[in-house]
């Protein structure tokens, strides 16, 4: 296998489809081929260099109401024959309440902008220089930066295939590069950390020097952090943190979670559960969104879906099976990988921006906590929406930054928080993942800190 050679995957898919025809099976095949580079620097030396090429292929076999899944990372004929045998054996055990239909559409749409051929041609030396710059820029920024715990450049290229025994066949490829720096500084006997992460589709836009400097600045802003008093506060969630909060509710819109009775939105279509300031869209076409794609994982052309309109639950996300079962609109939101069964996932989740900038939100009350980081989401219970999670940030008084805050938690319920959003900012950043959201203002949030 070499980096750009996809003939082995095409042959494997052909072979599986031939076997399916011979054996008169309904079969869906999904393939993935990935390559990546990652380079990290520490202590002004290259610390790690890695590169990879991997591929996997998975089948979903449908026999009436029965369905089975199997996958392999080996594309030789024996492994492929074996994967079909395993899927057939698995299908004997799984009987659905419905018959899944394989999609046989006209030719699949393309989305050429997901792949930048120039990114494929970047010289290794330039990638190494990028990682080196992340660290050296951070160290040069201020002598108080003691070390750069993470200075990493990486890129990845991925090609996906979907095909089925009804004649569907499509493929698309995408690539991306990223840089990440996380620095440390002394703060008395303690240490503080801060970082910056960016992803781009054009290597020329990745500025390691600037990212290193931002990471250093954010680290130094944390020096002198104190623990806030326990109480209720007005809070602004900085854009990147707001993205995490929206990510926590995105899965609620899956018709699979509705059907499984695990989503708190079950039975609440049309109800106004979010603040009227919130409009939320699932947009698989969003420029440079991490989840942009021309078609879904059943091969249906992508489409945009408004999930929340002015606070009202407008739609749930469906694949072809659950759209039929639950009598909902089909949103082409099928999600699967070679190694998993058919499911549903949001693509890019986009919050419609408001009119105020972050400064205006921070001046909304005499005392405001700006939340800049979430330190872990283990304390989020998805089924109820209850959360108790550790955060970091800054205290603002009358719109002015007063001091950094550390060692505290926020608690509440994510749907109540969504209902209580008082303002949506206009400061959304270019995506680093699949959620795009400006800063959000919320009042009366429980904060646990001192005493």
Partner 1 sequence: MIVSDRILSKVIDAALSLGADFAEVYVEDTRKRQFSYLDARPEKAISGHTLGAGIRLFSGTEQLYTYTNDISEMGLLRAARQAAEAMKSSHRQKAVTPEAFQNFGTVTALKTSNTDTQWQNLKVMDETARGFSSLVSQVHAEVAETFKYVQIMNSEGVHRQEGRPYLNAFARVFSEENGNKEYGYERTAFLGTAEDWHKVNFRELAQVAAGQSLRILRAAWAPAGEMPVLIDSAFGGVIFHEACGHGLETTAVAKDASVFCGKLGQKVAHESVTAVDDGTLLNSYGSLEIDDEGAPTQKTTLIENGILKSYIVDKIGARKTGYQTTGSGRRQDYRFAPTSRMRNTYIAAGKSSFDEMLKDIDYGIYAKSLGGGSVMPGTGSYNFAVNEAFIVRNGRIEEQIKGASLIGTGIETLNRIVKVGSELVLAPGTCGSSSGHIPVTVGQPPLLVSKLTVGGKV
- Give, as ranges, the residues between 359 and 378 that touch partner 1 (CB under 8 A): 375-376, 378
CB of 388 to partner 1, least distance (A): 4
In this complex, which beta carbon is closest to partner 1, that of residue 114 or of residue 192? Answer: 192
Give φ, ψ of 103 to 5 degrees. Answer: -85, 130
In this complex, which beta carbon is closest to partner 1, that of residue 122 or of residue 409? Answer: 409
Q: Is 19 within 8 Å of 84 (Cβ atoms)?
A: yes
CB of 110 to partner 1, least distance (A): 27
379 binds partner 1 (CB under 8 A): yes
In this complex, which beta carbon is closest to partner 1, that of residue 230 or of residue 303? Answer: 230
In this complex, which beta carbon is closest to partner 1, that of residue 20 or of residue 410? Answer: 410
CB of 22 to partner 1, least distance (A): 21
**Interacting residues with partner 1 between 107 and 136 (CB under 8 A):** 124
In this complex, which beta carbon is closest to partner 1, that of residue 13 or of residue 424? Answer: 13
Q: Which of 11, 14, 23, 49 binds partner 1 (CB under 8 A)?
A: 49
**Interacting residues with partner 1 between 302 and 361 (CB under 8 A):** 339-341
Stretch near partner 1 under the rule CB under 8 A, chosen from 49-57, 159-167, 285-293, 319-327? 49-57
450 binds partner 1 (CB under 8 A): yes
CB of 281 to partner 1, least distance (A): 26
In this complex, which beta carbon is closest to partner 1, that of residue 109 or of residue 379? Answer: 379
In this complex, which beta carbon is closest to partner 1, that of residue 125 or of residue 204? Answer: 125
CB of 81 to partner 1, least distance (A): 12
# residues contacting partner 1 (CB under 8 A): 79
Q: Which of 410, 421, 423, 440 binds partner 1 (CB under 8 A)?
A: 410
Question: Residue written as tokens 């005392």?
Answer: 367
**Interacting residues with partner 1 between 74 and 93 (CB under 8 A):** 74, 79, 82-83, 86-87, 89-91, 93
CB of 55 to partner 1, least distance (A): 6
**Interacting residues with partner 1 between 137 and 156 (CB under 8 A):** 146-147, 149
451 binds partner 1 (CB under 8 A): yes
CB of 439 to partner 1, least distance (A): 22
446 binds partner 1 (CB under 8 A): yes
* Cα 177 from Cα 200, distance rounded (Å): 5
212 binds partner 1 (CB under 8 A): no
Return the closest-CA partner of residue 146 out of 196, 191, 208.
Answer: 191
In this complex, which beta carbon is closest to partner 1, that of residue 8 or of residue 429? Answer: 8
**Residue 448 CB: number of other CB atoms within 10 A?**
17
In this complex, which beta carbon is closest to partner 1, that of residue 142 or of residue 386? Answer: 386
Q: Which of 6, 136, 262, 426 binds partner 1 (CB under 8 A)?
A: 262
73 binds partner 1 (CB under 8 A): yes
CB of 413 to partner 1, least distance (A): 9
Q: Which of 23, 384, 398, 416 binds partner 1 (CB under 8 A)?
A: 384
Q: Which of 184, 220, 255, 307 binds partner 1 (CB under 8 A)?
A: 184
Q: How many CA atoms lie within 13 A of 230 on its CB side?
A: 5
Q: Which residues contact 437 (CB under 8 A, 6 or more apart)?
A: 239, 242, 243, 245, 246, 350, 351, 428
How would you classify the pairing of strands 367-374 and 231-237? parallel
Stretch near partner 1 under the rule CB under 8 A, chosen from 163-171, 244-252, 302-310, 441-449? 441-449
């Amino acid at each position: 296998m070499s980096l750009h050679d996809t003939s082995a995957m095409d042959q494997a898919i052909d072979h599986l489809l031939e076997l399916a025809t011979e054996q008169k099976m309904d079969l869906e095949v999904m393939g993935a081929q990935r390559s990546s580079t990652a380079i990290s620097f520490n202590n002004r030396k290259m610390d790690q260099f890695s590169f990879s090429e991997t591929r996997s292929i998975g089948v979903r076999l449908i026999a009436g109401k029965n369905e089975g899944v199997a996958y392999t990372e080996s594309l030789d004929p024996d492994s492929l024959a074996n994967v079909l045998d395993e899927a057939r054996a698995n299908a004997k055990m799984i009987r659905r309440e419905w018959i899944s239909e394989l999609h046989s559409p006209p030719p699949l749409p393309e989305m050429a902008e997901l792949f930048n051929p120039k990114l494929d041609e970047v010289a290794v030396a330039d990638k190494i220089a990028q990682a080196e710059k992340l660290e050296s820029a951070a160290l040069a920024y201020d002598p108080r930066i003691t070390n750069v715990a993470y200075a990493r450049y990486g890129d990845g290229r991925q090609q996906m295939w979907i095909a089925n025994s009804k004649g569907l066949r499509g493929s698309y490829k995408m690539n991306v590069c990223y840089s990440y720096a996380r620095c440390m500084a002394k703060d008395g006997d303690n240490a503080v950390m801060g970082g910056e992460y960016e992803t781009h589709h054009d290597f020329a836009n990745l500025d390691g020097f600037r990212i290193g400097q931002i990471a250093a600045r954010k680290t130094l802003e944390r020096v002198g952090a104190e623990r806030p008093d326990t109480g209720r506060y007005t809070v602004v969630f900085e854009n990147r943190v707001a993205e995490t909060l929206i990510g926590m509710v995105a899965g609620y819109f899956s018709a699979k979670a509705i059907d499984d009775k695990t989503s708190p939105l079950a039975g609440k279509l049309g109800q106004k559960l979010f603040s009227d300031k919130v409009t939320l869209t699932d947009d698989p076409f969003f420029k440079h969104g991490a989840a942009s794609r021309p078609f879904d994982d059943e091969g249906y052309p992508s489409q945009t879906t408004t999930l929340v309109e002015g606070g009202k639950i407008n739609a749930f996300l469906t694949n072809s099976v659950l759209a039929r079962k639950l009598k909902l609109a089909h949103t082409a939101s099928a999600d699967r990988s070679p190694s998993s069964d058919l499911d549903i996932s949001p693509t890019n989740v986009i919050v419609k921006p408001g009119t105020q900038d972050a400064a205006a939100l921070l001046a909304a009350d005499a005392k405001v906590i700006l939340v800049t980081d979430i330190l872990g989401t283990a304390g989020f219970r998805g089924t109820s929406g209850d959360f108790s999670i550790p955060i970091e940030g800054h205290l603002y008084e009358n719109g002015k930054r007063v001091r950094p805050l550390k060692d505290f938690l926020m608690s509440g319920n994510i749907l109540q928080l969504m209902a209580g959003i008082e303002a949506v900012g206009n400061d959304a950043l270019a995506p680093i993942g699949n959620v795009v959201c400006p800063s959000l203002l919320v009042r009366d949030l429980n904060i646990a800190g001192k005493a």
